[in-house]
Chain A
Amino acid sequence: MAELTYREAVTAAISQEMRLDSNVVFLGEDIAAAGGVFKTTQGLLEEFGPDRVRDTPISEQAIIGAVMGAAMTGLRPIAEIMFSDFFAVCWDLVANQIAKTRYMTDGQCSFPLVIRSANGGGSRFGAQHSQSVENWAMAVPGLKVVAPSNPADIKGLLAASIRDPDPVLFFEQKSLYATKGDVPEDEHVVPLGQARIVRSGNDVTIVALAAMVLRAEKAAETLAQEHGISATIVDVRSLVPLDTKTILEEVGKTGRLVTVEENPRLCGWGAEIASIVAEELFWDLDGPIVRVTTPHIPLPSADALEDAMLPSPARIVEAVRQLVD
């Protein structure tokens, strides 16, 4: 084990996979010489050279088109979209082309590619550089969607995403880049589609993703210490494929479900999980399913406002107490 930051784990995963497979290539804006605007890709150009690690113009359509064309002709490319908000300028390539072409052509081709992107709020960047867009991706058949909460999962899930034969949108929560954690130094791969049980409790199951997992953990501490409520936390890790088995099992044990989502409220991923639990586990529930989300607004910039909008440990505590008491 080595203690790495979330950002260093990104570099570790990419270099691990590039060493193993010469068909893995990487491109994006400022990712090579500059090492990434979030410093997630430092040293890759030096180790793997400009044929495999390439800076691009500010051309998101060209970037995504390039990885699509490369993936369908034998490479395993990785693209970086600097901020996930920028998916909006290349969404045709993602949602119409990459996601649908294998299906439409009766399985003639596949798209072993990864699009990494800095996602989510907490950095005071305002409404166009802070969105949580994982639910955009989840709504499109044909895309796998991954959003890790810690450095070990960054390394393991990014490695698995690069090896996956299907297109993966890999969302890195940008406010977590400086967080640290133990990461296996040897080859490390975490299969997609397996949720992680972060802690086990008896009273409520909190299902969370990415940065919200850390906030749920803080909330669970408070609930245990101050209110005598013991919570299970499930880190979803991958929205597609979705580990409904683990979620249903864990909700079944506690009889209560709270989802914690950074995305704006309408059609957030928690709504899908709530729907699945309501359909398949209704008679085992001891109370309503509760969703804690960012309100349905663009995210404001000022720290006081942004902090008030994103789900906080205090809001999670409050939601759980109302449900359990």
Chain B
Amino acid sequence: MGVFFGLKTVIASSKGLSWRCVDLVHVEKISHKAQYAHIKGELFMDDIVVTKSSPNSLDTGTRLQLYRMMLECRVLEKRAYDLFMQNLIKGTSHLSLGQEAIAAGFGVAMRPDDYTFCTYRGHNHTYVRGVTMASILGELMGRECGLLRGKGGSMHLMSMEHGALGSYAIVGAHLPIAAGAAWSAQYRGTEQVSVCFFGDGTTNIGGFHEALNFAVIWKLPVIFVCENNRYMEYTAISDVTAVENPAADRAAAYGLESILIDGNDVDVVYHTAMRALSQARRGGGPSLIEALTYRHGGHSRADPGKYRPDEEVAAWLKKDPLPTYRKRLLKLGLAEASLEAIEAETEAMIDEATETARNSNPPPEDIAYTDLWADGSATWRN
């Protein structure tokens, strides 16, 4: 299989077969046997195909935005790693280094009032909605300036005002919650879309299947995005899963298209996101997207990731979404100076955010007794 993945859909109608490709992807080869699914009275025949991005699909402004977003995520988490090594971040931390294209592609494509649900590996998904670096680093460091003033920590980032509706630390829990937020949007008629990110390991827990069925039968505006980084925690997903593509191969069971994309190509992610968002917004129902990617480090701070073959790690490092995208932008004729300007700005941002977080005090003890209930208290008796 090639490096790039995209999507092709073949629609059978009364007029015969017609082809609908995700715009701006190029079909190279069919890699899976056609599957049939009967959805809403239409017969779809879905193939998973190897494709590669078209060079001319996006305007320069969007591309620079995507590059900047990925870069900001990268520096944010690299700094989180450094602060961990300095013992300024305690507890645990799950980094997405190497997986930035997925959060960035969706973050740029989403409407400001759309909803994001993510996992304990959710710094980037929260950041791309507009949360500041200082408030994320502050939360990781347990400081008063933290997004949750230290009451949540690395695994629970949330910013309601930015539509980042939470990071959920129990695998699979947030898929049904994302469906619920989508139901609410549908009921209120707001055309908001709920986007739910999760890992490959989530595809084997019950909540995944309950949420998918639920979303399809109620035709909810929700997008389920499986970030398949090939490993659950320490165990390869392929060692414990009945199918090769843990999300895409199961889509047909819920009457959904099988969508498998290169999650390290931010252009592909962005296009796929735009398509799924548009479908959900116009009442066309949910999508399940499997984005192939790779985490550069281990599962968490405690894990050096030694269970992964060196050659596999090396091969994926070559597909690092940042340098590959930078090369593409230069090849497309963007001035290197404009990229260097973004890089310098991003470095300045993270340094300033680090200083803000370092200078922030620990949270006062009394906040531990607040906001269990909506009245602000934690009182259970009179």
Residues of chain A at the chain B interface (Cβ within 8 Å): 25, 51, 54, 56-57, 59, 61-75, 77, 92-93, 96-97, 101-110, 112, 141-142, 165-166, 193, 240-245, 276
Q: Which 5 A-B pairs have the closest CB atoms?
A: A65-B176, A69-B180, A107-B371, A165-B374, A69-B181
Which of B173, B181, B379 touches A96 (beta carbons < 8 Å)?
A: B173
Task: Give, as a whole number of angstroms, the nearest-CB distance from A215 to chain B.
Answer: 25
Interface residues in B161-201 by Cβ distance below 8 A to A read 161, 165-166, 168, 170, 172-185, 187-188, 194
A75 interface neighbour in B152, B179, B184, B214, Cβ under 8 Å: B184
Checking B166, B184, B210, B213 against A74 with a beta-carbon cut-off of 8 angstroms, the contacting residue is B184
Given contacts A67-B180, A70-B183, A75-B184, contact A57 B214 (CB under 8 A): yes
What number of residue pairs across chains A and B have CB atoms under 8 A from each other? 163
Contact present for A97 and B210 (CB under 8 Å): no
Smallest CB separation, B300 vs chain A (Å): 19
Inter-chain CA distance A220–B321, complex, in Å, is 75
B376 touches A108 (CB 8 A): no
In the complex where A65-B180, A66-B183, A240-B380 touch, is A72 in contact with B213 (Cβ < 8 A)?
no
Known: A74-B184, A104-B153, A106-B147. 6 other contacts (CB 8 A): A62-B207, A73-B165, A73-B181, A102-B371, A105-B148, A108-B161
Alpha-carbon distance A141/B159, docked complex (angstroms):
22
Assess whether B115 is interfacial by the CB under 8 Å rule: yes
Contact of B166 among A70, A101, A103 (CB under 8 A): A101
14 A–B contacts, CB within 8 A, in A order: A59-B213, A62-B207, A69-B179, A70-B181, A73-B181, A74-B184, A75-B184, A101-B156, A103-B378, A108-B159, A141-B372, A141-B378, A166-B373, A241-B381
**Residue ranges of B at the interface with A (Cβ–Cβ < 8 Å):** 115, 147-149, 151-153, 156, 158-161, 165-166, 168, 170, 172-185, 187-188, 194, 206-207, 210-211, 213-214, 217-218, 367, 370-376, 378-382
Q: Is the CB of B184 within 8 A of A69?
A: yes
What residues of B have a CB within 8 angstroms of the CB of A243 in the complex?
381-382
A245/B184 in contact, CB under 8 A: no
Which of B115, B182, B373 is packed against the most chain A CB atoms within 10 Å?
A: B373
- Smallest CB–CB gap between B40 and chain A, Å? 18
Contact status of A105 and B207, CB under 8 A, knowing A56-B214, A69-B179, A166-B373: no
* Residue from the list B170, B370, B371 in contact with A97, Cβ < 8 A: B170
Measured CA separation A71–B168 after assembly (Å): 16
Most A CB contacts (10 A, CB to CB) among B151, B178, B179, B181 go to B181
A286 to B211, CA, bound (A): 56
How many whole Å from B130's CB to the nearest CB in chain A? 14
Of B115, B148, B165, B168, which one neighbours A106 at CB under 8 angstroms? B148
Tell me the smallest distance from the CB of B169 to a CB of chain A, in Å.
8
Report the Cα distance A69→B217, complex, angstroms: 17
Name which residue of chain A comes closest to B182, CB basis.
A69
| Contact partners of A107 in chain B: CB under 8 A | 370-371, 376
Instruction: Knowing A57-B213, A62-B176, say if A73 contacts B381 (CB, 8 Å).
Output: no
Quick check: B187 and A92 within 8 Å, CB to CB? no
Contact of B181 among A72, A97, A245 (CB under 8 A): A72
Q: Are B148 and A61 in contact (CB under 8 A)?
A: no
Query: Which residues on the B side are within 8 Å of A142 (C-beta)?
Result: 372-373
